[in-house]
Structure 1
Amino acid sequence: MTSVVERVLPERLGRPFRWLASSSWVSNLGDGIVMAAGPLLVASLTDDARLVALAATLQWLPPLLFSLLAGVVSDRVSRWHVMLAGNLVRVVVLVVLATAILTGAVSIVVVLAVLFLLGCAEVFVDNTSATLVPMLVRRQDLAVANSRVMAGFVTLNQLAGPPIGAALFAAAHVVPYATQIVLLLGALALLAKVRLPPVERPAERRHVRHDLAEGLRWAARHPAVRTLVLTIFIFNITFGAAWSVLVLYAQRQLGLDEIGFGLITTMNAVGGLLGTACYGWLTTKVTLGNLMRIGLIIETLTHAALALTHTPWVAMVIFVVFGAHAFVWGTTSVTIRHRAVPPELQGRVTGVNSLGVFGGLVVGSALGGALAERYDVATPFWFAAVGSAVFVVVIWRQLRHIAHDDDPLPAES
């Protein structure tokens, strides 16, 4: 047993990181369960593609609105307390939703409101969580630590969680949400064992606008971080258009039921595990810039292939390939940020990155819902394929900035 723990979470990463990783994994299992249950609950209340896409938009809108503010909060106050407060808010909101389902008072309006409130709390939790690894792990071990966190995310959030969530939803609509409440409380208990080192902060409290501007300017000055933010924004417009109607695509074009929809995310996770196994080897054989270029070509072809296929097993293979690409991209992006960004700016630069991530998703989901309602569920995937192809050409030269030379720039005085 000891050897297994050492292989998964090497002792050199430290006991605090082990507790942090364990907390992250438990929380990710709960999030994965609701990842499948949420769209299924929405689809059980309406078949309007615009409302289904709106549900995705309302989950992605809070980061667009509050990511920069969440970054300032993460850099100003105790990060442990931000995690505690944000997760307690999530628990309260989930209790309200579970009660509404049990009493028969649930409606599409209630669900949409809950999704928005959960999204607001998750902005602060996710932003702060992203700053913790470089506080606990040495710079040379960041790639290993991030790969372990990402492997837990892939295994539990994407592989185990969604089929469990779909099965629990099929048994009773309230069960997935009750399960997530228990898991969130367990994750908080594990997180309570983590003692974070202090973060250097300015002696004088400055205006929020000053801190926001400092984070934006730093991200704009750093070539690798700037390119990552720009790229994720562009490609999340196309990704958001397609994935915002994924539950309808699974039902209408592939003919899948609730369990089949959960299997889609499972296949993504299988691909993520393949990406995990190959990641170290890939980074020794392919430059990060070329790795990103290959990934963007894969993403473009994924959208086109999904638009064309009506065969579930073919679609499942495509989702495996996409999952491997998503893991490689995500791990590379996080590691570059963790290595490059000074500790006192981690929250704000993460907020800038989240602005790019969710800004693209919000724009894309609005387009996806309108296209699916106007035409059919394959149309958003065609839009994603064509749009991604154009963006690959536009962004191609900028990807040269993604390199192994990711030393930090100093924070502004």
Structure 2
Amino acid sequence: MRPLRSRRASADLSARPLGRDFWKIWAAAVANRFGDQVRVASFALLTADATDDAVWLGVVIGCNYLPWLLFGLLSGAAVDRLDKRRAFVAADLGRAVLCGLLVVSVFAGTVDVAVLAAFAFVLTGLQTVSDAAFTAMLPRVVARDRLAEAHSRLSAAQGVAGQFLGPPVAVALFVVAHALPFAANACTLVFAAMLVLRVRVPRDSGGALRDLRARTLFGDVAAGLRWVRDNRAVAAYGYAVGVMNFASAGVQATLVLYTVRELGLPAGVYGLALAAWGGGAIAGNLVAPLALRRVGPATLAKLAQTCQVVGYGLLVVADGAPEMFLALALNGFGAGNWNVTSTAVIQAASPVDLLGRVGSVMRMVSFGTAPLGALAGGVLADVVSLRAPAAVGVVASVAAIWVLASLTEKPGARPGERSGVRT
């Protein structure tokens, strides 16, 4: 009879709601993703309207990502020292003020490309603090055995808000008034900050984990890097994130040319191709919690990468739109499962005092490898073939499976432990 009661208790535990605090930060994160995508798309539109120089366009777009490489680790270390809720609110309100100043500058006609680059750089710099604070908050308001479900719901909603709604809304607002998208972003940032102000975030207990905090901010960064390096499973997921993003960026950077030149399809099909990838990713986000309960995170991570292998392989041999749509949907489905699995495992494994730093390490890997992958994909497409980036994707996904091969399931353990994580 005792095992039966244990199973019933486990079922009751898994059926409990995620709670109001989760839904508040869920709404805040979705609003931020939508607003950020509106802003980034509008920076490109405003820069193209101000200059025909492709170099300046690249500079402005690059300033939307460069702070992650320069300040991401420091932001994560700072957040681990600070009150997470206050750090999030301060960063988002600071970004809202900057968006307001940009609106005034656009209306006044005093914006040039150098000013746009500066605004993009500072806004993203504050975003590194906001995102690190969110990463550290979520496992504090959601039980660690529910992180996969929480990330599933969050990733699916962010995918819809960011990928499907953000860019077209940015274009529509920009047509009405060039400053309007930035005003909309200011509103989403204030909305997110007000929601997070109402979230009850438990304070750090310190104690046994106090030795993970060094005397200096750079010492904190070093401690976080050492922890990721020494944790076999988290390091494996980090390596896999790097190779996966490298390959994905190469394919995405050349996808429009692959669609139009290699397959000879109309340019409008490119939008449908992106929708196929995004739809597959959202489906993967939603399926991931059930799959995790059935097979465990280590197995699901490998299956997700296997979907990537098949998807990239189909792109290598595709000769029409149906094969391309299927390939991108499979690729997105694998990516959606992978994102939920890897994030839940890494957060479940990370000590509470290191959540900001570990999340920033993973973001640095993600944002650092993507530009390199896009550049490599462009070179390969020009020198070898427009199918070459997809071939690199096959190799990269196989390499990720090989890196993850040593991870094993431990039935009955929490997500981090099931994947062989040492905490």
Give the TM-score of the pair, scaled to structure 1: 0.81
Please say if residues 163 and 263 of structure 1, whose CA atoms lie closer than 8 Å, have aligned partners that are also in contact: no
- The residue identity in structure 1 corresponding to 2:179 is V
Q: How many residues align?
A: 395
1:292 matched to which residue of 2? 301
1:28 matched to which residue of 2? 33
1:4 matched to which residue of 2? none
- What is the rounded CA distance, in whole Å, between the counterparts of 1:358 and 1:307 in structure 2? 25
What runs of 5+ residues in structure 2 fail to find an aligned partner? Answer: 1-14, 411-415
Q: Tell me which moved more, 134-143 or 292-301.
A: 292-301
- The residue identity in structure 1 corresponding to 2:366 is V
How many angstroms does 1:93 deviate by?
A: 2.9
Q: Tell me which moved more, 272-281 or 213-222.
A: 272-281
Could you say if the C-alpha distance between residues 401 and 73 of structure 1 is closer, same or farther in structure 2, counting changes exceeding 3 Å? farther
2:116 matched to which residue of 1? 111
Does 1:93 find its partner at 2:102? no
Cα RMSD for the two superposed structures = 3.5
Could you say if the C-alpha distance between residues 240 and 398 of structure 1 is closer, same or farther in structure 2, counting changes exceeding 3 Å? same
How many angstroms does 1:362 deviate by?
A: 3.3
Choose the corresponding residue for 2:199, options 169, 194, 203. Answer: 194
1:3 matched to which residue of 2? none
Could you say if the C-alpha distance between residues 231 and 265 of structure 1 is closer, same or farther in structure 2, counting changes exceeding 3 Å? same
How many angstroms does 1:31 deviate by?
A: 2.4
Could you say if the C-alpha distance between residues 85 and 269 of structure 1 is closer, same or farther in structure 2, counting changes exceeding 3 Å? same
How many angstroms does 1:50 deviate by?
A: 5.4
Please say if residues 285 and 340 of structure 2, whose CA atoms lie closer than 8 Å, have aligned partners that are also in contact: no
Could you say if the C-alpha distance between residues 297 and 168 of structure 1 is closer, same or farther in structure 2, counting changes exceeding 3 Å? farther
Tell me which of the two structures has the higher relative contact order, counting C-alpha pairs closer than 8 angstroms and 6 or more residues apart: 1
2:7 matched to which residue of 1? none
- What is the rounded CA distance, in whole Å, between the counterparts of 1:106 and 1:37 in structure 2? 14
2:11 matched to which residue of 1? none
Q: What does the per-residue CA deviation read over 1:297-350, in whole Å, with 9 as the maximum and x for residues that have no partner? A: 544565676688897787665544433222211111110012111111111111
Counterparts of 1:274-353 in structure 2, within 5 Å, are 274-286=283-295, 288-299=297-308, 302=311, 318-353=327-362
Please say if residues 162 and 263 of structure 1, whose CA atoms lie closer than 8 Å, have aligned partners that are also in contact: no
Does 1:210 find its partner at 2:199? no
How many angstroms does 1:74 deviate by?
A: 1.4
- What is the rounded CA distance, in whole Å, between the counterparts of 1:16 and 1:116 in structure 2? 31
Q: What does the per-residue CA deviation read over 1:145-177, in whole Å, with 9 as the maximum and x for residues that have no partner? A: 222222221222223333322332344333222
- What is the rounded CA distance, in whole Å, between the counterparts of 1:409 and 1:266 in structure 2? 39
Q: What does the per-residue CA deviation read over 1:193-235, in whole Å, with 9 as the maximum and x for residues that have no partner? A: 0121111343986122332222112111222210111111122
- The residue identity in structure 2 corresponding to 1:328 is N
Give the TM-score of the pair, scaled to structure 2: 0.79
Choose the corresponding residue for 2:75, options 66, 70, 75. Answer: 70
How many angstroms does 1:108 deviate by?
A: 3.5
**What is the DSSP-based 3-state SS (H/G/I as helix, E as strand, rest coil) of the residue aligned with 1:224?**
helix
- What is the rounded CA distance, in whole Å, between the counterparts of 2:272 and 2:49 in structure 1? 18
1:234 matched to which residue of 2? 243
How many angstroms does 1:272 deviate by?
A: 2.8
- What is the rounded CA distance, in whole Å, between the counterparts of 2:332 and 2:389 in structure 1? 17
- The residue identity in structure 2 corresponding to 1:118 is L
Choose the corresponding residue for 1:159, options 164, 170, 174. Answer: 164
- What is the rounded CA distance, in whole Å, between the counterparts of 1:325 and 1:49 in structure 2? 34
Counterparts of 1:234-253 in structure 2, within 5 Å, are 234-244=243-253
* Structure having the higher Rg: 2
- The residue identity in structure 2 corresponding to 1:193 is R
**What is the DSSP-based 3-state SS (H/G/I as helix, E as strand, rest coil) of the residue aligned with 1:72?**
helix
